[in-house]
Amino acid sequence: MKYFKILKKEVAKTLQLNFSVDLDIEKWKRQEIIYLQDDLLDKVNGRISEKWFYTHIKTETKKLPRIDMLNILCEYAGYQNWNDLKSKFQIEEEPSIKVKKRNPLILIIILLVLSIVFIGYQFIPQNKTYKFCFVDANLKAPIKNSPIWVVVIKQNESPMVTQCDSNGCFSLVTKDKQIQFVVRSPYYKPDTITRIVHNKSINEEQIQLKTNDYALMIHLFSKSKVTNWRKRRKQLSLMLTDDARIYQVYEDEKTGMELFNKKEFIDKLTTPTKSLKSIEIIETIYSGDKISIMRFKQKQDENV
């Protein structure tokens, strides 16, 4: 295209020898085009149409005309042909930008390092949230009326104590592969739960707790009206070991705690009083199938 621009100037110079025309061939109008058509026909027996002139001369294009037309114009301008014109003018080519080739070994090393980092990241433990909900083993229903405490056991750390929400659930955020915790509830038997959670897709689980029947019965005994005291004393005696220690915890910040033996506690629950009180079990510890240690608190029965 640079040589074609030179050719257009050479054609304009040649026509200027006989006609008064602008050296800028792209500014020519119909009359100048007619001059060129006549002069071409007269000197080299060449023919161009007005349409061809507008297409290739006046219009900015990236496509060269056919070689035969280039040769005709070159001959008109005083050159043997298109190749002759190009040989007469030296055009410096634009310097090409050399792209520095990278060492393939360096690229391989970079890709290898990135791959190792990516794969290694997949094996780095990430924090995940796990949710555990407790249900009554008999009723298969969420435990809502009994407080549940969870003691989370972590390696090389002190235990972490947390309480379940009103739906009997708690959440734990950890990156450990194994989770272990102890579940405690006044009216359900304690249990130690261990779970291997590494690569598990399920982050929520229901856990069944068995009822602490004796603790629940003592709580109900303290609230119910008794008609057969002898039978009630016998039932309580079967629940407690002979050397049982029963602690009553007071919330008045004065008395603190009171200790009962087996007989004293049975007397407390089977002696008719004008003011009945409801026992709330705090903790029970078993020896075999009987309660050996129990902690409770008492509150005024709302029905009295």
pLDDT digits (tens, 9 = 90+) for 143-200: 887 889 999 998 888 888 999 998 899 998 888 888 899 999 988 988 999 988 766 6
Residue partners of 204: CB distance under 8 A and separation at least 6: 130, 131, 132, 133
- Going by their DSSP bridges, the two strands 128-136 and 204-209 should be labelled as parallel
With 0-12 CB in 10 A as exposed, 13-18 as middle and 19+ as buried, what is 277? middle
> What is the band of 244 on the pLDDT scale with cuts at 50, 70, 90?
very high
What mean pLDDT, rounded, does the chain reach?
A: 84
Q: Which of 138, 184, 146 is nearest to 280 (CA)?
A: 146
Amino acid present at 36: L
Q: Give the span between the Cα atoms of 188 and 214, in whole angstroms.
A: 10
CATH architecture of 213-300: Roll (3.10)
User: What's the distance, Cα to Cα, between the start and end of the chain in Å?
Assistant: 111
* Amino acid code (one letter) for 97: I
pLDDT of residue 169: 93
pLDDT band for position 2 (50/70/90)? confident
Predicted confidence at residue 125, as pLDDT, reads 63
pLDDT at 115 over 70: yes
Residue where the block lists tokens 């194994």: 178
Span 20-37, mean pLDDT? 87
Task: Provide the residue type at 291 as one letter.
Answer: I
Q: How many residues does the chain have?
A: 304
How do strand 149-152 and strand 178-185 relate by DSSP bridges? Answer: antiparallel
* Closest alpha carbon to 204 in 127, 126, 129: 129
Q: Which of 93-97, 141-145, 212-216, 271-275 has the least mean pLDDT? A: 93-97
Residue ranges of the chain assigned to CATH 2.60.40.1120? 128-209
Please give the backbone phi and psi of residue 244, each rounded to the nearest 5 degrees, phi first. Answer: -60, 145
Percent of the chain at pLDDT exceeding 90: 23
The segment with the largest mean pLDDT, out of 140-154, 220-234, 235-249, 289-303, is: 235-249
Q: Which of 1-15, 102-116, 131-145, 209-223 has the lowest mean pLDDT?
A: 102-116
State how far the Cα of 259 lies from the Cα of 57, in Å rounded to an integer.
Answer: 117
- The percent of residues above 70 in pLDDT, for the chain, comes to 89
Q: Indicate the pLDDT class of residue 304, thresholds 50, 70 and 90.
A: very low
Mean pLDDT of 28-57: 87
Tokens of 279: 């026992």
Strand 178-185 to strand 204-209: parallel, antiparallel, or no bridges (unpaired)?
Answer: unpaired
Please give the helix or strand (H or E) that residue 303 lies within, else none.
Answer: none
pLDDT digits (tens, 9 = 90+) for 55-109: 888 777 778 888 988 888 898 888 989 998 888 888 776 555 555 566 778 888 8
Tell me which of 137-141, 195-199, 282-286, 288-292 is least confident.
195-199
Please state the rounded mean pLDDT for residues 12-32.
87
Instruction: Please tell me what DSSP assigns to residue 25.
Output: G
Measure the CA–CA gap between 160 and 152, rounded to whole angstroms. Answer: 5
Q: Where in the chain is the domain with CATH 3.10.450?
A: 213-300
The pTM is what? Answer: 0.52
Q: What is the pLDDT of residue 181?
A: 92
Tokens standing for 236? 């309580």
Please determine, looking at this structure, whether the domain spanning 128-209 carries the CATH number 2.60.40.1120. yes
Q: How far apart are the C-alpha atoms of 198 and 123, rounded to whole Å?
A: 11
φ, ψ at 229 (rounded to 5°): -65, -35
Q: How many CA atoms lie within 13 A of 48 on its CB side?
A: 28
User: Cα 203 from chain centroid?
Assistant: 15
